[in-house]
Amino acid sequence: MDDTVRGEGRPELVRARKRMGLSQDAMAETLWVSPTTWSRWERGRQEIRPVYRARMAEVFGVDPAEVERWVEGRAPVDTQAWLLPDFSDLSLAATVKTAERLWRCDVDPDRRHLLAALPFVPAAFGSWLSAWSYGASPASAAYQGAGAAVGLSDVRRIVEARQAFGQMDHQFGAGLVRPAVVDYLNTAVAPLLRGRYDDRVGAELMTAAAGMAQLAGWTAFDLDRHGQAQHYFGQALTLAKTGNDPLTGAWVMTSMTDQAIHLEQPAQAVWLARAAVETARQVQAPPRAMSLLLVMEAWATALQARPAETGDAHSAKRVERLLAEAERTYAQGATDRDPAWIAWYDAPELTAEMGMCWKLLGDHRRAADCAESAVREFTTKRPRSAQLNRVNAAEAYLGMGEVEQAVDAARAAIPMARSLTSARSVERLRKFSARLEPYGTTIQVREFRAYLDGELAS
């Protein structure tokens, strides 16, 4: 291949390769990429993901900051942002420091692209769950930092901001709200973590910070930035552990479960969901919180076993038992012990998530009914949820062989997907369109695909 560097390129990267006496082909093989990819990297024609930058540091035997200088052509960035959250030190000082680093990197123009390009790492869940289950929380959440004194009123403002940002996310999608969430973490929450607070305030502060970090992760997930989302979910789990708040930790694990399901990582989804349920049972979680966790375990179990495809009757019965328990538990109603995050988990949400389980069980009629019911409830207050459930209904109709009704349901979801800043909403429609391939020659499918492409392109 041509060893010349055209345009500005990355001449330091070329020199580093030549110092090792390697051709472009050999260098590509060493880094487990194609020769074309390596050539584009050298010519500055393609972004280099953090996982490969870290690998380069190993191969070339240099500090990661040096690789950053070669790649970016400017001052090194904080390469510690490459690392997944570490549960080895759950002291308050370590938790505050790592949280601040992540949030600072995400608002820095020179660093945020690293986080946005991070890969999703399924293997991280094993160590996280082990640390969550067996690691010890700090004896006290009191802290004497260099900042100002922090009170419960400061914590309440974080909780209220989380609720406001969450509603904006439901209404408009993550693209609109995520920059504000990350900025709030960096400019409002980080100074409070650095402050002075007693044990009671500290525990509440960690819970509130975990909730805001969870939202930063959720919005990254909605934008299809799965490595970045995983970082934030891990950060939220660390904050919940440091604040000794099992219920918030269980909630964060349901977000991780949802992401694992979306990425079709069923084994990890089951681990996370079961750990969340076990955590909740240990602290006798209030009914509505318990119901959410049970449905997520049912969903993860159904995804792993796929009873409709495999005929696994044992797993199907387990999923059905979990769904029945979730319904009975939810029916017990709200209590004064309900955590703040349970406010969004209402009856339509329960119905929608049960519908996903019925689809995997092969009961497509029941799945369609659940999705249509959720759409009616969500249309005005949660547009993104309504849009996703229209796609859920379309998939259920397709499972019944009702192609025309499936296409009609999906077509109704397109205008909303176009108005939302949600990559996940668009992705769901694209995947549904791909599932129509067996019917690709029919008029209604051709028209649907043309409409979808035209609307999303505009």
Q: Which domains does the chain have, with CATH numbers?
A: 11-76 (1.10.260.40), 88-244 (no CATH)
Mean pLDDT over 311-336 rounds to 97
Q: Residue 107 pLDDT > 70, yes or no?
A: yes
pLDDT of residue 225: 93
Q: Label residue 190 by pLDDT band (50, 70, 90).
A: very high
Q: Label residue 303 by pLDDT band (50, 70, 90).
A: very high
pLDDT digits (tens, 9 = 90+) for 16-52: 888 777 889 888 888 888 899 999 999 988 889 887 8
pLDDT of residue 299: 98
Q: Residue 2 pLDDT > 70, yes or no?
A: no
Cβ-proximal residues to 111 (8 Å cutoff; 6+ apart), any chain: 77, 78, 81, 104, 105
Mean pLDDT over 434-444 rounds to 96
Q: Residue 135 pLDDT > 70, yes or no?
A: yes
Q: Residue 134 pLDDT > 70, yes or no?
A: yes
Q: What percent of the chain has pLDDT over 70?
A: 95
- Measure the CA angle with vertex 128, ends 127 and 133; round to 5°: 100
pLDDT of residue 85: 64
CB 80 within 8 A of CB 118: no
Mean pLDDT over 325-335 rounds to 96
Q: Residue 318 pLDDT > 50, yes or no?
A: yes
Total-model pTM: 0.82
Residues in a beta bridge with 197: 143
pLDDT digits (tens, 9 = 90+) for 214-267: 999 999 999 999 989 999 999 999 999 999 999 999 999 999 999 999 999 999
pLDDT of residue 90: 80
pLDDT of residue 360: 97
Q: Label residue 84 by pLDDT band (50, 70, 90).
A: low
Distance CA 173, CA 329 (A): 30
Q: Label residue 121 by pLDDT band (50, 70, 90).
A: confident
Distance CA 215, CA 294 (A): 21
Ranges 94-98, 202-206, 365-369: which has the least confidence: 94-98
How many angstroms separate the Cα of 314 from the Cα of each of 76, 325, 360, 403?
Answer: 55, 17, 14, 31
Q: Label residue 75 by pLDDT band (50, 70, 90).
A: low
Q: Label residue 306 by pLDDT band (50, 70, 90).
A: very high
Better pLDDT: 416 or 184: 184
pLDDT of residue 4: 40
How many angstroms separate the Cα of 298 from the Cα of each of 64, 286, 294, 314?
Answer: 42, 19, 6, 13
Residues in a beta bridge with 143: 197
> Identity (one letter) of the amino acid at 160?
E
**Residue 114, token pair as written in the block:** 């690293």
CB 71 within 8 A of CB 48: yes
Could you tell me how far CA 306 lies from the centroid of its own chain? 23
pLDDT digits (tens, 9 = 90+) for 268-287: 999 999 999 999 999 999 99
Q: Label residue 8 by pLDDT band (50, 70, 90).
A: low
